[in-house]
Structure 1
Amino acid sequence: MKRTPPHLGTLVALTALTVLTLNMFLPALPEMQKAFGVSEAVMGLAISGYMGAAAVLQLIIGPVSDRLGRRPVALSMLALYVVASVICLLAQDVHVFLGARIVQAVAVGGGVLASAVVRDMFDGRVAAAKLATIASAMAIAPMLAPMLGGVLTSVMGWRAVFVVYAVIGTGLLALMWHDLGETQVKTPGQPPERISGLLTTPLFWAYAFCQALGVGAFYVFLTGSPFVAVALFGLTAAQVGLGLGSITGGFMLGSAVSARLVSRTGPMALILTGRLLPLAILSIGWLYFSLGGDQVLVLFAATLSVGFGNGLTLANANAGALSVRPRLAGTAAGVAGALALAIGAALTAVATALLSLAATPERLLSMMICVVFLSLIAALAARRLDKDV
């Protein structure tokens, strides 16, 4: 079996596949709805079904990679992804399409496996720095993918998006075959570690909830800001898009800063800074609007701080969760990822319900403050439990 460790760029590409598969096809949804002759609700299953399957598959892919190794799971995942993409491309029936689309959710294994591979290769602060570098580089994907999907759909039709998915999957399969050596080292005769040992460790859950709630603040912003921006400030769709990009830009900057500083400051200092800074700035923004302020740039400046704070926090919290039981790094990545999706889905529903009643910046910022505060509580719990910080 190939043993050469992969290049960092390979892990970035593997992680980016998750984001590309989720959102590059979004601009094509209206055309797909017409092509299949179905309602918006049915077509929406291509998103909700994908996300539900992704949550479940993370819980499977991670533990399987701990047992069988990273390389065989990655190659199998990508082969299945290519087949599913081709079926989506050729589908003439919406049920066939939706079934294949759900199978495409194996792409979520990219992020799980990349995190596990980093933990296999590096320890502590070095692992946190590598994960932050990956996060900073692949953050470009959610900004560019919808744009590419929109161009492909406009020029060549919605099926062109799935041609690109199949091509990307094939290219990644070839890249992984060539570059992804097995990184998991097993001692002969050593029994597999019990998953219960991870799931009953409070430190793992402290790091996992810190990370998941940080991601949850993203979901609240992405769900709620269009309501507020259009209803109160009268922004156009293009202006809303620029505003949504602010939090991603902040995340890229924060991740880059984290990658450079973590070896000197340690992960916990960055995690706490990444919680306290947005908490303070969001509170200032809330006070500004409560006193009658009406500048939309203040809203997006406040939320940009959440992106920057998440850049400081998420990779370091992820590294902490993976370090609790290093031999179960795949399981830890899968469980933490599934938790983030579940919390994100719940917070999306809550944000939609509350802002449909009153789409005000104070209400949006209040929700974000609450979520970031809960993430801070989890971070403080991790600090108390982790004797190595």
Structure 2
Amino acid sequence: MTTLVLLTGLSVLSLNMFLPSLRQIAVGLEADYALVSLSIGGYLAVSAVLQLIMGPLADLIGRRPVILAGLVMFTLASVGCLLATSVWVFLGFRVAQGGIVSGMVLSRAVVRDLHEPDEAARQLGIMGMAMALAPLLGPMLGGVLDQLFGWRANFVAYAVMGAVMLGIAWRDWGETLVEPSASFSAQFRTYPTLMREPVFWAWTICLVCSIGGFYAFMGGAPLVGEGAFGLTSALLGLGMGSISGGFMLGNYLTGRYATRLGRTRIVVLGRWVATLGPLAGATLLWAGAMHPLVLFGGAIFVGLGNGLTLPGANAGVMSVNPKLAGSASGLSGALTIAGGAVFTSLAATLSGGALGPVVLLILMSAISAVGLIAALAVQRMEARAAPA
């Protein structure tokens, strides 16, 4: 479990730790902020493609070799980002860091390899609670490193963490795949099978729009925090980490109550929390309480809702066909990250100006509401499928 937590945590850190440094990277590489922000959207797009490949590949040759290759790719790419002297070289190596996404994809698949759906949801909740420290501490650590040593210090940290994690995984990662598929092409052809399942799509849309609220916050918060509130890199990192406080609490509640209440009921509750919380924050901002605590307070509810949602939704999407858990995790993860790239860019585009904080919270609430509709659809499908 510890290795799974560390791998998933490093996957999250690869996205958010360097975000407080985006403006400094733009200045240091003499590039526009919009161009440097492709280090988020481009990274997510490449990660989406990699997940499509890594899921079936892991079902074919096993979880262990795929994760080890991903860690090597991430570590070398981190060194490339550290040494980059032009924005295009930086962006090239930055998107190559997407190899670490295998840690998130395959950690979920391993849990599903070992446990039945409700227990898998509980285990994912416990794992999520522990790894929530990564998004909580990541922006804080990144902001402090930037202020003390400059933006390149973040990529020194990435390279070191990647190398250490590679050593841990090499020693500790055991193979959990019991029945490998016959061939890669055969496994890749399982995607249409998954796509024909309405419940797979409902779970996947729920996942896309749950994590989509988080991605929108990551894309808009640096612009809003510095532009509307004048926050320093360290304070911005602290505020951006706040969303993970709610995420940790949500995962704790899921780990405690998943088997008692059932994963779908908890998922629906999480979507209500993530929809109404930021909407309430936007209302307060519009009424005149224009303060960063209101913005970050609204974001905490998105984190809480995601903590209640993601363990059950991940377990649900991989339970559509347990023999295709790796493929299901890869396909749903690719769609989630592709959606994240869209939501990140959308938030960065819409969140400028004096009303940026209000717009950002409304956008997060709207995205979460779509996830709520999908969760309610799952609940209806399960009720119809239940024996009379």
TM-score range, shorter chain: 0.7 to 0.9
Report the TM-score when normalising by structure 2: 0.85
The amino acid that maps onto 1:210 is: C
**1:304 and 2:297 aligned:** no
**1:236 and 2:231 aligned:** yes
CA offset at residue 71 of structure 1? 0.9
Distance 1:301 1:27, change over 3 A: closer
Residue number in structure 2 paired with 1:368:
364
**1:149 and 2:142 aligned:** yes
CA offset at residue 260 of structure 1? 1.1
SS of 1:126's partner is helix
Residue number in structure 1 paired with 2:252:
256
Aligned with 1:166 (options 141, 159, 173): 159
Q: Deviations over 1:116-174 (max 9, x none)?
A: 11111111111111111222222221232333334445555555433332322222122
Structure 1 stretch displaced more, 336-345 or 347-356? 347-356
Aligned with 2:98 (options 102, 105, 108): 105
Residue number in structure 2 paired with 1:5:
none
SS of 2:175's partner is coil
> What 5-or-longer segments of structure 1 have no aligned partner?
1-7
Is the Cα–Cα contact under 8 Å of residues 227 and 359 in structure 1 kept in the other structure? Answer: no
The amino acid that maps onto 1:101 is: R
CA offset at residue 104 of structure 1? 1.7
CA offset at residue 110 of structure 1? 0.8
Is the Cα–Cα contact under 8 Å of residues 12 and 134 in structure 1 kept in the other structure? Answer: yes
Distance 1:220 1:29, change over 3 A: closer
C-alpha separation in 1, matches of 2:181 and 2:254: 37
Residue number in structure 2 paired with 1:138:
131
Distance 1:47 1:220, change over 3 A: closer
Residue number in structure 1 paired with 2:325:
329
Structure 1 stretch displaced more, 95-104 or 69-78? 95-104
**1:209 and 2:209 aligned:** no
**1:114 and 2:107 aligned:** yes
Residue number in structure 2 paired with 1:59:
52
C-alpha separation in 2, matches of 1:90 and 1:288: 45
C-alpha separation in 2, matches of 1:106 and 1:188: 22
Distance 1:64 1:167, change over 3 A: same
Distance 1:103 1:345, change over 3 A: closer
Is the Cα–Cα contact under 8 Å of residues 228 and 359 in structure 1 kept in the other structure? Answer: no
The amino acid that maps onto 1:128 is: A
CA offset at residue 74 of structure 1? 1.2
Superposition pairs for residues 1-389 of structure 1, below 5 Å?
8-29=1-22, 32-33=25-26, 36=29, 38-91=31-84, 95-156=88-149, 158-186=151-179, 194-224=190-220, 234=229, 236-237=231-232, 241-285=237-281, 292=287, 294=289, 296=291, 297-356=293-352, 359=355, 363-386=359-382, 387=385
C-alpha separation in 2, matches of 1:230 and 1:94: 22
> What 5-or-longer segments of structure 2 have no aligned partner?
none
C-alpha separation in 1, matches of 2:39 and 2:225: 27
Is the Cα–Cα contact under 8 Å of residues 18 and 142 in structure 2 kept in the other structure? Answer: yes
The aligned length equals: 380
Report the TM-score when normalising by structure 1: 0.84
Percent identical among aligned pairs is 45
RMSD: 3.2
CA offset at residue 111 of structure 1? 0.3
C-alpha separation in 2, matches of 1:226 and 1:97: 20
CA offset at residue 229 of structure 1? 6.3
Distance 1:81 1:203, change over 3 A: same
